[in-house]
Structure 1
Amino acid sequence: MTSTGMRTEAEDSGPSGYAAARLRLLQEGARSGPPRRAALAELTDDWLTGLFDAGAGTSRGISLVAVGGYGRGELSPRSDLDLLLLHDGSADPGVVASLADRIWYPVWDLGLDLDHSVRTPAEARKTAGEDLKVQLGLLDARHLAGDLGLTAGLRTAVLADWRNQAPKRLPELQELCAERAERQGELQYLLEPDLKEARGGLRDATALRAVAASWLADAPREGLADARKSLLDVRDALHLATGRATDRLALQEQDQVAAELGLLDADTLLRQVYEAARVVSYASDVTWREVGRVLRSRAVRPRLRAMLGGGKPAPERSPLAEGVVEQDGEVVLARAARPDRDPVLPLRAAAAAAQAGLPLSLHAVRRMASVVRPLPTPWPAEARQQLVTLLGSGPSTIEVWEALEAEGLITRLLPDWERVRCRPQRNAVHIWTVDRHLIETAVRAAEFTRRVHRPDLLLVSALLHDIGKGWPGDHSVAGEIIARDVAARIGFDRADVAVLATLVRHHLLLIETATRRDLEDPATVRLVAEAVGSQGTLELLHALTEADALATGPAAWSSWRASLVADLVKRVSAALAGDDPEEPEATAPTAEQERLAIEALRTGGPVLALRAQTEPPAEPPAEEPSGEPEPLGVELLIAVPDQKGVLPAVAGVLAMHRLTVRTAELRSLDLPDGVAGSVLLLDWRVAAEYGSLPQAARLRADLVRALDGSLDIAGRLAERDAAYPRRRGIAAPAARVSVASTASRLATVIEVRAHDAPGLLHRIGRALDSAQVRVRSAHVSTLGANAVDAFYVTGPEGAPLPGEQAASLARALEDTLRE
């Protein structure tokens, strides 16, 4: 259909004709992207022009102006219309008001969002001077109907105002962008990003247009138009998929949006969004640096000219490294630098910039990217040293790395990086994409280089530990293979290559073992010692474990986890030194445990004791005070006469009281001679989900009722489960239960991976109780929405379960959790 045909239908049929033509346009599969946005803007122009002409008659000095996104012709399916009814003040106010009603009401009648105003040019300029957002919208003013000269005059005046006021208004705009980024986060890392408001989104792209319009500075143009187009295409598809005017790409809508765009899956969609956001974010960083430089030079230049008697002073250049200098707050190439003959120069410049805490000049990075030769294989020693220096420079590494990555230098140095670049991590615990997480881990590892003997191996393993996430299968296994290749390519010797491969292969070993296994069991210590192999590797793995967790997100590390890992490392270190771990002997009860057990036998019911536990963070930095000890939870001691159903009863009562279980140990207590009866002792570490801890008396009262069957725990937890917050449309993966056959010689280890929910431990306890097995201890770990729990179980006689019985128990437990 031609635009003329659409206009005739819209004018003849009024709003219904426009609505029908609009619907047909949005349903056309052949047109999408910029052509559809332009056609939708043209169709809307024709309709609004018809409304204006019908109401304005012969009136002069009035025009209809599109501003903001509509002024740019970027109409997505559910975009609002930004309109300004401009008049010169000569028309009768009643006529202007009547005309406004004839335009606004049909728009509202169609259910379209409308941002409207009625102003004279003077009023529009005054409002723009007071409201930066209004001024930004007017920069994109486009004439629709009426007095063209009136619109053109306003445009000219607004642009002149903007350029004249740029030294004042651009810092305001930069602050506005920074505040928005603080609220909305960075588009290139968010699992549910706001395509418009997040840093690197459409608002920032518009801000870059405004900077260019000021003539004070300009954004790097390469790739910027394509990035903007990509984000607009995704927003179009999001509007069509949801039928709503939304800019937030929610998880439950990503598959549908990907299908609308013809993409393989939601991960491909997110990666495309992240790529575009990185271009916009990098362009913003470069542009705002240039704005600052220009504004500083404008402020300083008059004083220098007066001091020097006129003329333009030459910028100072301070040497930083061979071929690298600092100039005007940036790292640039020296005049004598020859990047075409110096393949190490990109790494040397990057390391110098990170060490100095300065950004790399865009011009310098692009020059190196265009002419630098590939490094030989293996790399020369200087290249490897410069990479280690770059990785060990702390937080300033991030900006420098991103500058190299923006121009493709990282993937030239490390081709395997391409598979993890902008790769999303669909795990609430992770706050970064895979590639940014690797750099964040290196930044964290830089804090620990003083506590290891080989900081170079620590930093490189931090950079590579998740490199296998770009490949199918277990990322640790794939990563080991890649790490061997990369380490050899960058010039490490055979022994160092083996250490790096081990670190990558086992980078999760310490944290998983410490939180999911019984550290008193000699088999646990032996397995870790065999995997690590040496004291030096153990030292590096300990530091890597902490750096990895800290770089993952706040839910991945705590002083409690740190203490468990430190305990494991201490035990493994002793084993590597030749101290063979002995089989644990039954420990004699403490006086308090014995008192509780005797009281439980005397009363015939449970006896409880709550005791707060605190420890300082593991190995606090020597130069900083450790501060107040961080609570590790509360130790809950329960003694109860031996009977069936203790584990599910205790777990259920704790869930009812919103207590999170961190560790759980159950054992029969050997009592002094002369005391008849058998008592179970439960030594658990618990923490309140929020609020204060419940009183021990309340816990005991509910536990008594749970054990005698008068408390409907399952029903109470079902009510809570129904109200438990979940994302609509997101189905949790099915639970998986497995047997860790070599984890212990004293018990059978059943490992459960499931979606965390109130009462999960209660359900597991009931299933284990029904299977008539005894739980010796439980090791509970929750990361985000995922629970990974390990249960050490035995048969009634206290021996590990036979293989087939253990497998049958795992299958039954898995079936129970999937119900």
Structure 2
Amino acid sequence: MSAPAAGDAGAAGSDAEWAARARSALAEHAKALAERFDAAVDVDRLVAERSRVVDRHVLEAWQACIPVDAPLALFAVGGYGRGELFPHSDIDLLVLSGEDLGATGDTRHEDALSRFFTRLWDAGLPVGHAVRSAAQCTEAAAQDITVMTAILESRPLAAGAADRRALQEAVAPTRAWPANAFFEAKRQELRERHARHGDTSDNLEPNLKDGPGGLRDVQTLHWMALRIIGTSDLESLVAVGQLGADEVASLERERKSLSRLRFGLHLLARKHEERLRFDYQKRLAERLGYTDSDGTLAVEKMMQGFYRSASLVQRISERLLQRFEEQIEGEAIPQPLDEAFELRRGYLAARDDAWPRAAEDVFALFATWAGHDAVRGLHSQTARALAEALPEFPDYASAGTAMHQAFMGLLRGPEPVATLTRMARLGVLGRWIPAFARVSGRMQFDLFHVYTVDQHTLAVLKNLAIFASGSHDERFTLASEVWPRLRKPELLLLAGLFHDIGKGRGGDHSELGAEDARVFCDTIGLSGAESGLVEWLVRRHLLMSTTAQKQDITDPGVIHRFATEVADRDRLDHLYLLTCADIAGTSPKLWNAWKDRLLADLYTATRLALRRGLEHPLAATERAAENREAARAMLAAFGTGDEEIEALFERMPEIGFQRGRPDHLAWQALSLRGIRSGDVRVRVRPVAAHASALEVFVHSPDRDGLFDAIVATLDRLGLAIQQARVHDGPDGTIFDSFEVLPSDPRHVPAEQEVEQRLESTLTGTIDDVRPPRRTQPSHLRHFRTAPQIDFDETRPRLTQISLVCTDRPGLLAEVTRTFRTQALRVHEARIATFGARAEDLFQVSRVDAEGNDRPLDEPQRQALRQALLACIEGE
């Protein structure tokens, strides 16, 4: 082996002096690159220049440290081998030795190599290295596909022709990873990498390098092409028919877009960072020149660009992976499905080379796809033909009746949600409904919506598909029962498709979406009643959610108003299913047992109100009588005698019979067995079908600070209150009910532990019970919600407080302690969290000299406002 002549190390000064000069020069160059980046210089030039500058310093160190006659050669590998270095990318080096170092005990060159690598590290270069002989390269590459991949992109820095040939031969297909094995291994690696990122690029904090559709996907195509075709130049793949010129242009455009994001991210993070975290998103958007406009933040525009780039990379990548598979395995024998389509190795392909000849052919493709379970996906040749035809594909407004009917046929046919998902992924849905294209890749910069609008919409549709499947999902109590009542399920699918389509236009997205839905439905020929239902569902798709979470659905007046708005059972069925699907499709963490029961209870109560007739609203006394009799029947079934039932009922507050459920009342009554009015009794039970959700009942003598102590204790137990009801019982007792969920689903306290901890707290001194102090998660600081505190008097003798602010651990416990310091009594709490935003409602009162509840007067409201602001902002 040979190496360039070593320079005079002494003339260059000491290693420390050289490292200091190199560090300073590299820092100056990095600063210049950052300035050129901000001046919009092409990112490929920047990463290449960074690589060339590093080359010079690496070679200087090599020549100063490695003797000219040493049997060593130096190669850049990995991304550095490609000649691409981002500001804080690793610098991977391979030293090729003419002998197996260490195998013979020869350590002659170890000191020189150690000095070489130390020089680079001292200069601030993040060097990773390996020292191997050719035989060791073969062995390491054969055992580890990542080593093989790194060597595949090797670039000589200090190596002669013989060295280069030796390294090429060491990883030749005959020695390690022949083309077919390499392809399968890299494809599996890609799948596993995608799975680690949730199989979607639409994460709130996406990984620009390793996430689905990221730069690693593009690099994987280059590696496969190099091993299978013999070239990593994508343009050369056009000549051999593996890629179309338009596909190459699209890949290069999106690769550059992703590279620019990654370069800017490295600059902002000042370290090797590949995940586009909230910490950097707004600043990067500003640095890249994005600005806010009506309805859309600058950061949302930047992220939409990323999501669209990643989606296109994935789409083209899937096609090229198929073509590589065919290159290795050869053309498959087609299996005809009908006159127009066939299967090729399980992929759906058009039999006509000139397909599609008409726009209707596209919908025929999706109809055939939906009708055959054996289809693995769309054949790359047909996928490319579809992509090329998309610019001429009409939208629904300019299409004819035949296409309108064909589209509705897809919604009424097998697997309609899968069909819509495929159409969205392949770009067809955005062409057919232009408004859907506008929300494709659109993110909302908050922690409530964890998906882009289009992906959220598809998630909602997938939830509807679960309801339609007929199998019971325990997460949704009534959904599988309600779905069969729908006469035309396709109308609910249309409502799900349009419910958020108006987002980002600067107005009420429900109103804008309803207008779009009405025009669409009328245009494609739905009847007035059908169009009206879809329009109403889109316009009022938040009605059931807000009613259930922000109002007292045990109040007959609330049920009557909601039922009046809904008007009929058909609307109610559709709205219930859409609401469940919408909430569950917003975030995996948002749907929980409490929301399931709230919606199920609201649905059941409203259905009864509609059956009774809106002209016959149920009075509170009637509801109390019905609940009392139903609870009595349940207690009798448990063997409780009439005399005992009456005695238990006399110890319970009347308002409980007006607002409670019969099973809840019977459970509370049984909890009172064996105790006196002055005793503390706590009982806990799981919410039906939801083991992690708990219902907590507390009976205790009333005293100041009791509610605050209960909330603080539950907080210490790791239980988050979703709803609280506080009723005054006879003889100075309280009947408090809490719906709670574990803050961490992995740690659910046992029911007995909750009972014991609460009883211990309430039988002792409660003055010193304090909520735990917790630090706010760092990511919440990027989603500040300006505090909003409003007062209203919706019930006699009570004041309703609406509190909106940034959520944080322990917030509720601190708020209730503020109520205590203001000498207020809490009667009800409804707790709702939307990402980083808390929206809580409290019914409170002050107590006059006679012990009666009174609403807050204006001075008391202002004092409470200031105290709450101090509590919220004094984090």
Q: TM-score range by the shorter chain?
A: 0.7 to 0.9
Amino acid at match of 1:30: R
The answer to whether the 8 Å contact 1:344/1:375 transfers is: no
User: Aligned partners of 1:183 and 1:575: how far apart in 2?
Assistant: 48
1:800: how far off?
9.3
The answer to whether the 8 Å contact 2:92/2:127 transfers is: yes
Task: Mark the CA change 1:428 to 1:593 in structure 2 (over 3 Å): closer, same or farther.
Answer: farther
Amino acid at match of 1:23: A
Q: Which digits, 9 at most, give the CA deviation of each residue in 1:1-55, with x for residues without a partner?
A: xxxxxxxxx9898333332332222212125522121111111112222333344
Tell me which residue corresponds to 2:394: 374
User: Aligned partners of 1:453 and 1:198: how far apart in 2?
Assistant: 42
Tell me which residue corresponds to 2:477: none
1:328 aligns with 2:345: yes
Amino acid at match of 1:196: K
Task: Mark the CA change 1:753 to 1:376 in structure 2 (over 3 Å): closer, same or farther.
Answer: closer
User: Aligned partners of 2:828 and 2:781: how far apart in 1?
Assistant: 36
Q: Which digits, 9 at most, give the CA deviation of each residue in 1:235-280, with x for residues without a partner?
A: 2222221221222222112223333333333333322332232233
Tell me which residue corresponds to 1:166: 179
1:26 aligns with 2:30: yes
1:134 aligns with 2:144: no
Q: Alignment partner of 2:696: what SS? A: strand
Amino acid at match of 2:737: D
Q: Which residues of 2 match residues 173-184 of structure 1 at below 5 A?
A: 173-184=186-197
User: Aligned partners of 1:119 and 1:807: how far apart in 2?
Assistant: 76
1:685 aligns with 2:705: no
Tell me which residue corresponds to 1:352: 368
The answer to whether the 8 Å contact 2:549/2:830 transfers is: yes
Q: Structure 2: 5+ residue runs without aligned partners?
A: 1-10, 230-236, 292-297, 469-482, 629-644, 654-668
Question: 1:698 pairs with 743, 757, 772, which one?
Answer: 757
User: Aligned partners of 2:582 and 2:163: how far apart in 1?
Assistant: 61
Task: Mark the CA change 1:422 to 1:34 in structure 2 (over 3 Å): closer, same or farther.
Answer: same
Equivalent residues, number: 763
The answer to whether the 8 Å contact 1:61/1:90 transfers is: no
User: Aligned partners of 2:551 and 2:194: how far apart in 1?
Assistant: 41
User: Aligned partners of 2:585 and 2:347: how far apart in 1?
Assistant: 28
1:638 aligns with 2:699: yes
Tell me which residue corresponds to 1:250: 277
Question: 1:42 pairs with 45, 52, 76, which one?
Answer: 52
User: Aligned partners of 1:747 and 1:581: how far apart in 2?
Assistant: 24
Tell me which residue corresponds to 1:339: 356
1:443: how far off?
1.9
User: Aligned partners of 1:131 and 1:164: how far apart in 2?
Assistant: 10
Q: Which residues of 2 match residues 339-418 of structure 1 at below 5 A?
A: 339-340=356-357, 342-357=358-373, 358=375, 359-371=377-389, 372-375=392-395, 377=397, 379-380=399-400, 382-388=402-408, 390=410, 393=415, 396-397=418-419, 400-405=422-427, 409-418=428-437
Tell me which residue corresponds to 2:634: none
Q: Which digits, 9 at most, give the CA deviation of each residue in 1:760-811, with x for residues without a partner?
A: 3334334555667654432223444443322345676989969979986985
User: Aligned partners of 1:412 and 1:109: how far apart in 2?
Assistant: 55
1:133: how far off?
0.5
Question: 1:17 pairs with 8, 18, 21, which one?
Answer: 21
User: Aligned partners of 2:175 and 2:858: how far apart in 1?
Assistant: 78
Tell me which residue corresponds to 1:754: 805
User: Aligned partners of 1:148 and 1:516: how far apart in 2?
Assistant: 75
1:437 aligns with 2:437: no
1:155: how far off?
3.1
User: Aligned partners of 2:700 and 2:353: how far apart in 1?
Assistant: 79
Q: TM-score, normalised by structure 1?
A: 0.83
1:780 aligns with 2:831: yes
1:509: how far off?
2.0
User: Aligned partners of 1:366 and 1:739: how far apart in 2?
Assistant: 60
Q: Structure 1: 5+ residue runs without aligned partners?
A: 1-9, 302-312, 617-628, 672-676
User: Aligned partners of 1:695 and 1:771: how far apart in 2?
Assistant: 28
Question: 1:238 pairs with 257, 265, 274, which one?
Answer: 265
Q: Which digits, 9 at most, give the CA deviation of each residue in 1:614-639, with x for residues without a partner?
A: 424xxxxxxxxxxxx64541331323
The answer to whether the 8 Å contact 2:417/2:462 transfers is: yes
Over the matched positions of the two proteins, sequence identity in percent amounts to 26
Tell me which residue corresponds to 2:489: 455
Tell me which residue corresponds to 2:87: 77
1:135: how far off?
0.7
Q: Which digits, 9 at most, give the CA deviation of each residue in 1:190-213, with x for residues without a partner?
A: 222222222322322221111111
User: Aligned partners of 1:63 and 1:762: how far apart in 2?
Assistant: 66
Deviates more, 1:57-66 or 1:431-440: 57-66
The answer to whether the 8 Å contact 1:779/1:791 transfers is: yes
Amino acid at match of 1:667: H
Q: Let me know the Cα RMSD of the aligned residues.
A: 3.7
Tell me which residue corresponds to 2:603: 569
Q: Alignment partner of 2:620: what SS? A: coil
Q: Which residues of 2 match residues 423-502 of structure 1 at below 5 A?
A: 423-449=442-468, 450-451=483-484, 452-502=486-536
Q: Which residues of 2 match residues 116-135 of structure 1 at below 5 A?
A: 116-135=129-148
Tell me which residue corresponds to 1:734: 786
The answer to whether the 8 Å contact 1:749/1:791 transfers is: yes
1:583 aligns with 2:602: no
Tell me which residue corresponds to 2:555: 521
Task: Mark the CA change 1:199 to 1:369 in structure 2 (over 3 Å): closer, same or farther.
Answer: closer
Amino acid at match of 1:401: M
1:83: how far off?
0.8
Task: Mark the CA change 1:745 to 1:364 in structure 2 (over 3 Å): closer, same or farther.
Answer: farther
Amino acid at match of 1:581: P
1:445: how far off?
1.2
Tell me which residue corresponds to 2:210: 197
User: Aligned partners of 1:490 and 1:738: how far apart in 2?
Assistant: 45
Q: Which residues of 2 match residues 595-610 of structure 1 at below 5 A?
A: 607-610=680-683
The answer to whether the 8 Å contact 1:62/1:147 transfers is: no
User: Aligned partners of 2:533 and 2:711: how far apart in 1?
Assistant: 42
Q: Which digits, 9 at most, give the CA deviation of each residue in 1:591-624, with x for residues without a partner?
A: 55755899999988662221314424xxxxxxxx
1:344: how far off?
2.7
Q: Which digits, 9 at most, give the CA deviation of each residue in 1:47-96, with x for residues without a partner?
A: 22233334445437542111100011110111111111123349995554
Tell me which residue corresponds to 2:636: none
Q: TM-score, normalised by structure 2?
A: 0.78
